[in-house]
Amino acid sequence: MLSRLLKEHQAKQNERKELQERRRREAIAAATCLTEALVDHLNVGVAQAYINQRKLDNEVKTLQVQASQFAKQTAQWINMVENFNQALKEIGDVENWARSIEMDMRTITTALEYMHKGPVQPTSS
């Protein structure tokens, strides 16, 4: 009877060990699946962030090129406006010079006309 109880006890212990081992393997398998699912989920987010970062980098490069081109174009426009202002000043200087020459020519013309007509004779009364 004692040996039978011992055998039953050992059989129950073996069953418990097998059940515990099976549950441990199932738990490990479930934990592995969960870990893989979490890693896959995180990888999707990381991959999307990486793609977005690459797009942003490309946009930054494009924007830098465009800003550089705009700065060059703005410098050209400023140079053109300065040249135009200088030309306007020169036109104003030429206009003043022309007026001065015109006044001198009128003075000379008046003097020549006066000389050509001769001195004014006093009238006798």
- pLDDT tens column, 67-101: 999 999 999 999 999 999 898 888 878 888 888 99
CA distance 10 to 20: 15
Instruction: Give the chain's mean pLDDT.
Output: 90
pLDDT value of position 94: 80
pLDDT value of position 53: 96
Residue with tokens 């515990």: 20
Residue 124, pLDDT above cutoff 70: no
Residue 125, pLDDT above cutoff 70: no
Confidence label for 44 from pLDDT (cuts 50, 70 and 90): confident
For residues 27-47, give the mean pLDDT: 90
- List the single range of 15-19, 35-39, 41-45, 65-69 with lowest mean pLDDT: 41-45
HSE (side-chain half, CA atoms, 13 Å) at 34: 6
- pLDDT tens column, 95-106: 888 889 999 999
At 120, phi and psi to the nearest 5? -75, 125
* Tokens of residue 55, six digits: 């797009």
